[in-house]
Amino acid sequence: MLQIKRSGIGPHLYINGGWKVWQPKDVNMVFDEPVKVDSWYKCEISCDKSTVNIKIFLKRRRIFDRIWVIPAGVFMFKFDYKDENNKDQSSYMPFSLTPEYGSIGFRAWGPEKAFIKNVVVKKI
């Protein structure tokens, strides 16, 4: 998931029932200037396995053009639980990440709001 914020894009990966979230500054996806809530932007996203190319335009001017590479390999997930004495414990479980498939969609949760129009999805 690519969360487009006013200041940049924060990628999220849903892996094995949990979310791995990056902030825009951590993945070099901060906008040079914040996006305006009263303007229409054009966004082009193309994915080729682990490479995600993101372009954002304001009118005809390209204001953002970055590539994000989805990390590969094994992620360690922390699971918290209570032991037989009701004490907090943690355990870790490895999970392999593969960029062989994915999905497209939109979400607005809590205070988030967005207007979306003219969506085109093509298999390349």
Region 79-108: mean pLDDT is 83
pLDDT of 13: 85
Tell me if 28 is assigned to some domain: yes
**Lowest-pLDDT range of 7-21, 61-75, 93-107, 110-124:** 93-107
Tell me if 86 is assigned to some domain: no
Tell me if 102 is assigned to some domain: no
Residue 68 pLDDT > 90, yes or no?
yes
pLDDT of 25: 96
**Lowest-pLDDT range of 6-15, 48-57, 93-102:** 93-102
Tell me if 93 is assigned to some domain: no
Q: From CA 68, how far away is CA 58, in angstroms rounded?
A: 21
Backbone angles phi, psi at 25, to 5 degrees: -65, -25
pLDDT of 30: 97
Range of the domain at 23: 2-71
Tell me if 43 is assigned to some domain: yes
Region 89-99: mean pLDDT is 81
Residue 53 pLDDT > 90, yes or no?
yes
Region 24-51: mean pLDDT is 93
Region 12-34: mean pLDDT is 88
Tell me if 91 is assigned to some domain: no
Q: How many domains does the chain have?
A: 1
Tell me if 82 is assigned to some domain: no
> Which residues in 37-57 are b (16+ Cβ under 10 Å) and which e?
eeeeeeeeeeeeeeebebebe
Q: How many helices (H) and strands (E) does the chain have?
A: 0, 8
The pTM of this model reads 0.78
